[in-house]
Structure formats: C-alpha cells, structure tokens
Amino acid sequence: MGYKGEIIKHFFLDYYSLNTDITVHLSHGKVERHTGKTDDWTVHLIDTGLDTLTGGRVKRLESWLKDDTFMVTYGDGVSDIDLQELLRFHRSHGRIATVTAVRPPARFGGLIFDGDLVANFTEKPQIGEGWINGGFLILDPPVFNYLDGDQSSLEVDALERLAADRQLASFRHGRFWQCMDTMRDKRLLESLWQEGRAPWRVWA
C-alpha cells in the first residue's frame, strides 16, 4: 500500500462487520456479530511507501512471497481474464514470469466510405490496436533477483531484463480489458456496471 493506504486498511479492518449481520448495543457499545457470508482469506496489508516505484513495491513483499508463485496487478484496469487459465499457462512454460497481453480498445470509431460519402460508422474495435501489457502478471520468486530496492521499476528493471533473458512469457487475452486512466474511462466503466453489462464481474 502507498497513497491512501489507510482507506484500504479500514476496509479490511471493518470487512467482517460490513459483510455480516450485527447488533450494536448503544447503551454500552457492545457489538454482536451474527452469521453471514465472509471469505476465508488471509490478507497482508503492507506499507510499501509513498514514493516507491512498482518494482520496489514488489521487492518490499519478498519476505511474504519468497516461497511460491504469486500474482501482481496494477489495479487500474479491469478484465474478464480467467485467472485459473492464466495460472495453468504460467506453470506450463517454466519461465520466471508471465505477463498478460491485451489489445486496448481503439480510442475512436471508424468511417466507411462510398466514394466521398460516409456510408456507415464502425464501433471502436478492440482488435484494432497492438498488444500491450495488461497489468495482470504471474511471477515466481527468482523475480526478486531482478529487483534492487525502492527505485526499481517492475517494467524496466524486471520485465525488460526477464525478456532479454528469455524468462518472460506472454498470455494473450483477446477478450475484454479496459483501463481506468481518465474520467472518460471511469464514466464508461461505471455505466457498464450500472447497466449490468460489466464483463469483468465474473463472480456471484
């Protein structure tokens, strides 16, 4: 965690109460928790600093992640990636890292011409752009050898060097992926959610 990490901490500290039925006795402050559906997770909330770069944040987690394969995401994009399929792919190739390659949605729709006249409009095709790092990665512990400290960039210090060492595989995901970098992106994703058309909502 870094900027606004306290909000994430409060969410998980209150998680049980927020996801179960409770009774609050206002006269003495006692809280009774009743049955409810909660997930059986263990969540580590680790302060990785305000100015730490992406690779440095991963490096600070080494003591928690050094014994097993782990997943990393930037958190600013949503997708309908099948994580089990991604993990199977990673385990099949024997490399240190797997990056999920996605095609970003084209920014603009297209025009179809009939001579000098516009005959039709085309939607923004997702396949119209090249492949990019979609921000969903699977890493094995040797990745920590590619990271030095807080000023390590995951992209430059680790991924580029892993690629040069032929230790970076690409899982190509051709379905839905969308970043949320701008207010325009935010409005698009919120409208998909509110209309019940959010492809990334693969739970429940």
Question: How many structural domains does the chain have?
Answer: 2
* Residues in CB range of 78: below 8 A, 6 or more apart: 176, 177, 178, 180, 189, 198, 200
Question: Is 108 among the domain residues?
Answer: yes
Backbone φ and ψ of 186, nearest 5°: -60, -45
Whether 57 and 31 share a structural domain: no
- The rounded mean pLDDT for the chain is 87
Complete DSSP assignment for 55-90: HHHHHTTHHHHTTS-EEEE-SSEEE---HHHHHHHH
Quick: pLDDT tens for 10-46: 988 888 888 888 899 999 888 888 877 777 888 888 8
Q: What is the pLDDT of residue 84?
A: 94
Residue 93 shares a structural domain with residue 171: yes
Considering the domain architecture, whether residues 4 and 59 belong to the same structural domain is answered as no
User: Is 23 found in the same domain as 120?
Assistant: no
**Percentage of residues in the chain having pLDDT higher than 90:** 49
pLDDT 10s digits, 56-68 = 999 999 999 999 9
Alpha carbons 140 and 128: distance in angstroms, whole number:
32
Residue 199's CB: how many other CB atoms inside 10 A?
A: 13
**Residue 58: which domain range?**
49-183
| Residue 45 to residue 2: CA distance in whole angstroms | 10
Report the CATH number at residue 125.
3.90.550.10
Predicted confidence (pLDDT) at residue 70 exceeds the cutoff of 60:
yes
54 lies in the same domain as 144: yes
Residue type at 1 in one-letter notation:
M
Of the candidates 52, 55, 75, 51, the residue with the CA atom closest to the CA atom of residue 156: 55
pLDDT tens figures, 90-131: 999 999 999 999 988 776 667 677 776 677 776 655 555 578
Question: Residue 123: its pLDDT value, please?
Answer: 61
Q: How confident is the model at residue 157 (pLDDT cuts 50, 70, 90)?
A: confident
Residue 143: pLDDT over 90: yes
**Confidence (pLDDT) at 4:** 84
